[in-house]
Structure 1
Amino acid sequence: VRTDNNNRLCPDDLQLKINQLKSQNIHPFAVVGVAGTTETGNVDPLRTIGEICQKEQYHFHVDAAWGGATLMSSTYRHLLDGIELADSVTIDAHKQMYIPMGAGMVLFKDPHAMNAIEHHAQYILRKGSKDLGSHTLEGSRSG
């Protein structure tokens, strides 16, 4: 899919590629929009991409690993307009949130969608305990 001079996905070309694939009996199931590239901070036109995904009934994922913290800014939140259309979003707290250790999150509009990627390491679980790692932030303890 083509990008514009600011390296943002071109929605018209996305729709063209979708139509071409469908004419070949190839059916995409997801589209990924970027909410802040690491190198330049560029943001794809999320609202337009999300609307295309809704029309085509595709999963819309937004990679907001770098730019997701922008949602906490009343001044710059508008730059991520359309992120609310996403079915899933990734945000990395160790990037713009300045958490001093790796802390990646994936958020789902439908909480049951997590079942498709959830994994349990049996050697960690004790009989009668619940594995909270896939539902909470984890990774470090004080002391």
Structure 2
Amino acid sequence: MENNLQVNIFCIQKSDEFKTWSEKYSKFISKYATLKEINVFNKKIALAQNLNAIEAKKSYEEAFMPYKKGYCIALDERGKELTSIEFAKLIQDKNELSFFIGGAYGLREEFNQSLDFRLSLSKLTLAHQFVKTLLLEQIYRAFCINNNHPYHK
């Protein structure tokens, strides 16, 4: 059952302007799974982002590598777009989900390809703080779909 599910969200962010919304959906998700949100932003990433996109992406990957476990999903604008029902099916019956949200420069193609799935929430480029909040809402919606909860109509 999904109550044994571990959901991990790894992101690179300095602050969370959408904290109130993120906390709201995190609380809802906790009814269905154990949720860990881990911000891996560090000094090395800050320095790399000031150099160039290539160094920034490498620093993101180095920060994320220790956390690659379970069914791993990259959030990527070039990934596959799913309906909420398709997303619910994708995450159904998994024991552990790990979502990776890149920083300002996104993620290296090689890192994305090393994961199990690449998910696009939109073809638009979105702020990573917003992506995290949107992802939390969709995870909650997926749990509601999979458990016949009326949140998803």
TM-score by length of 1: 0.26
Greater helix proportion? 2
TM-score by length of 2: 0.25
Greater strand proportion? 2
